[in-house]
Structure 1
């Protein structure tokens, strides 16, 4: 269920981390344009009749697998950027579908075997205390993005803000089956964000037309206790027998 706080814990996480310096840019799209890019079994989710596509750059810190302590040296810290949309799975539950995930940490590419579209890129996140600057290019030179935001005051999330950010599972597709990945982390502390510069070709690479109009923008200093669970197969809900 879309909500401010996670609806379930992740008892046996396959990945633990902290997310920081996270910006969200959200654009409305015609639902049929987004639905055409979704795999079988997923249905585009709508808010006030529109589908929404989000560009989300951030820093993943302290990434570690099962049984690895948070205080051990050498834990992975790296930028990540994803392009995603809100969906309903075969079981009717809400979640996220990722068109792409760009990272600089090669071990995450192993998740491609689970249907998660990680790709290597050259990414950078910098800040001067007033602005946060993101830039990235996928290996090979396309697509790419540049983004500079000025974080503002904290906000009380509106219904739309929660709908866009309060997602607690992701979907992938492998072996002809949809798989659901449970997600747990602290509730988002959202702030206003002024977009000073942005350009991107990630949407074009995903098969979408360029976004039109100014995005809905959020910034968060980050969340801790991030836990991603093991993927689980999701089958369509069975209709009760008459």
Structure 2
């Protein structure tokens, strides 16, 4: 099963049934880190990305069976945050990819301000956990994208105004300002690269040629900034202005 069958295909996503989701989750519970691509398939079923349309029914099904198989499929996230950080910094690419894809799936399930799903996700990562990951300079940006999205959809865009951002102290947490500085440094680095390599930047997302290490870092950082970081900053500013 390939995720491109569902990507951008609302009709295909709407036809996914409870049995299919249960079957995929069952396979994941058996293969775990050997099948991160199945988490990507579920992610594509949960939201029609091209239409920016989360599908509440599919979100609920994924969370339902996530809870049923949680003991086996969530072994890499239901651990101490130091262990998660160690995985993200480590050399085991299978564990790393599985953890990232699982977090991204949960973040997508939380889109749309569903209080029940948010409450489940909030038992997995606290704001502290997420900030400690996001400000760790030893973790590459592209590995942080899912965690930034998780922070946004579980704590910033939350249906529960009482526990939104965990507390009012969020705005005064020094890690927020460290995170913003890191993002600013990334933007400056992107600008400098673009000024020196204007023609190359234009084809980074189009070329089929093998990218250099620096070009790949630039490309992944651009995705991190555009998909998650800029959205996070906008939502954070709005929350502060609304307080």
TM-score range, shorter chain: under 0.3
Higher relative contact order (CA 8 A, sep 6+): 1
Q: Report which of the two has the higher share of strand.
A: 1
Specify which structure has the higher proportion of helix. 2
Higher Cα Rg, which structure = 2
Given the two structures, how large is their TM-score scaled by the length of structure 2?
Answer: 0.22
